[in-house]
Amino acid sequence: MPHHTPTTTPPPSLLPSSPPASSTRASETAPLMLLERLVQRAEQLIQRMESTLPQPLQAPLNWHSAIAWRYRKRTNGSSVLEPVRHIGSMDLEDLHNIDGQKEKILRNTEQFVQGKPANNVLLTGARGTGKSSLIRACLHAFAPQGLRLIEVDKADLIDLPDIVEVVAARPEKFLIYCDDLSFEEGEAGYKALKSILDGSVSAATPNVLVYATSNRRHLLPERMSENLQTSQGQDGEIHPGEAVEEKISLSERFGLWVSFYPFSQEEYLRVVAQWLASLGLDEAQIAAAQPQALVWALERGSRSGRVAQHFARDYAGRFGQQAASTSTHQVIADVAGLSDGASI
């Protein structure tokens, strides 16, 4: 009779134990958590890399926060339109000795904001005679009708097509303003400005005009040798006359030229008197200041609204007068160009 070995069941402590359910879940989710952290770190790295790359110009979030803007480029090549929070007050009736120029600019700007045909404007002539102040006064006068201003440095004119693209669909009217505009041969902004004014394949944008000020009427340096009636240029130019035409072609693309001239002595003293009055001096003090005002202008070789303002500040300061409050109208021409200081 066969012998059967009895089977014995090992005690429970010797049986292999299965891992707890919680440990199983943790081991399954660990790789997923690691993957999520890697994805998060990768996204952060991508964001940092993107922040260092040039970004296209974006429209401001709130166009109603200001009536004037500045175009600025960041160190990484990105660009932005910054609102100008504090704009110096200037009224058209406060500008004197430039009635003819004021009438032309006022008429052209009024046509522009009314949707009628209007021209790009080049204001040229003597320094300190009211060019930029007249543009600022027009901005204040027509801002309630939707006029806005974007100030662009000469070095950034190459980006004008991007600026125009951003504002093209807006209902407001925009003046692209460039102060003290002039070029040296070979500068990139020269060609960009020519295309915007006239000559680009794209149609002119009806809500954008360019207003520029300059001490040079033709915006590029001209040399006596270029006026010589020769059939061949000294540097081998076969048609030197065409080179001259190229230099004056930019200024001719401004439809309206407005010239400003130095003040006469009588006009200069009138401006000085108005500035001193605005700074709190009485008539006797103003009359006593006239000889010193003439010496001041002689030392600077110029009679202009800016020179008159500088003298008035000096004279009023030396005689202990307090500056007038900011609510007082600032009279006379070009006191501080739109590009000067922290405010327009």
Tell me the pLDDT tens digit for each residue of 252-294: 778 898 888 888 899 899 989 988 988 888 889 899 999 999 9
pTM: 0.70
Q: At what angle do helices 305-318 and 265-278 cross, to 10 degrees?
A: 50
Is 49 among the domain residues? no
pLDDT digits (tens, 9 = 90+) for 67-107: 999 988 876 667 888 888 877 777 788 787 888 999 999 99
Residue 108: the pLDDT is: 95
Question: In total, how many domains does the chain have?
Answer: 2
pLDDT digits (tens, 9 = 90+) for 206-245: 899 989 888 776 665 555 555 554 444 455 555 555 555 6
Maximum CA pair distance of the chain? 149
- Buried b / exposed e across 178-215, counting CB within 10 Å, b at 16+? bbbbbbeeebebbebbbebbeeeeeeeeebbbbbbbbe
Is 31 among the domain residues? no
Distances in Å between the Cα of 152 and the Cα atoms of 86, 144, 214, 343 are 17, 22, 14, 14
Is 70 among the domain residues? yes
Facing residues of 123 across strands? 213, 258
Point out the domain boundary residue: 234, 260, 286: 260
Residue that the structure tokens 């009023």 belong to = 316
Is 160 among the domain residues? yes
144: Cα separation from own chain's centroid: 21
Does one domain contain both 93 and 209? yes
| Better pLDDT: 137 or 330 | 137
Which of left, alpha, beta for 77 (phi over 0: left; psi -120 to 50: alpha)? left
- Which residue intervals of the chain are DSSP H helices? 21-51, 99-113, 131-142, 160-167, 188-197, 240-252, 265-278, 283-300, 305-318
Does one domain contain both 292 and 339? yes
Given pLDDT bands bounded at 50, 70 and 90, which one contains residue 329?
very low
Residue 51: the pLDDT is: 60
Neighbours of 158 (CB within 10 A): 15
> Which secondary structure element, helix H or strand E, spans residue 175, and what is its range?
strand 173-178
Does one domain contain both 137 and 198? yes
Average pLDDT value for residue range 322-332: 44
Does one domain contain both 195 and 291? no
Is 218 among the domain residues? yes
Does one domain contain both 106 and 212? yes
- Which residue intervals of 168-231 are DSSP H helices? 188-197
Does one domain contain both 101 and 148? yes
Residue that the structure tokens 């007038």 belong to = 324
Neighbours of 120 (CB within 10 A): 22
Is 313 among the domain residues? yes
Given pLDDT bands bounded at 50, 70 and 90, which one contains residue 143?
very high
Contact predicate 73/79, CB 8 Å: yes
Does one domain contain both 225 and 309? no
Point out the domain boundary residue: 245, 260, 275: 260
Does one domain contain both 207 and 298? no
Residue 12: the pLDDT is: 55
Is 231 among the domain residues? yes
* Domain of residue 199, CATH code: 3.40.50.300
Contact predicate 303/265, CB 8 Å: yes
Does one domain contain both 100 and 235? yes
Q: At what angle do helices 160-167 and 188-197 cross, to 10 degrees?
A: 40
- Buried b / exposed e across 86-99, counting CB within 10 Å, b at 16+? ebbebeeebbbbbe
Distances in Å between the Cα of 240 and the Cα atoms of 190, 234, 252 are 20, 9, 19
Contact predicate 141/105, CB 8 Å: no
For β-strands 256-260 and 208-214, DSSP reports them as unpaired
Does one domain contain both 110 and 236? yes
Q: Name the residue range of residue 252's domain.
A: 63-260
Residue that the structure tokens 């090992």 belong to = 10
Point out the domain boundary residue: 217, 241, 260: 260
Does one domain contain both 210 and 322? no
Given pLDDT bands bounded at 50, 70 and 90, which one contains residue 342?
very low
Does one domain contain both 344 and 236? no
> 128-132, 287-291, 295-299, 334-338: which range is least confident on average?
334-338
Is 38 among the domain residues? no
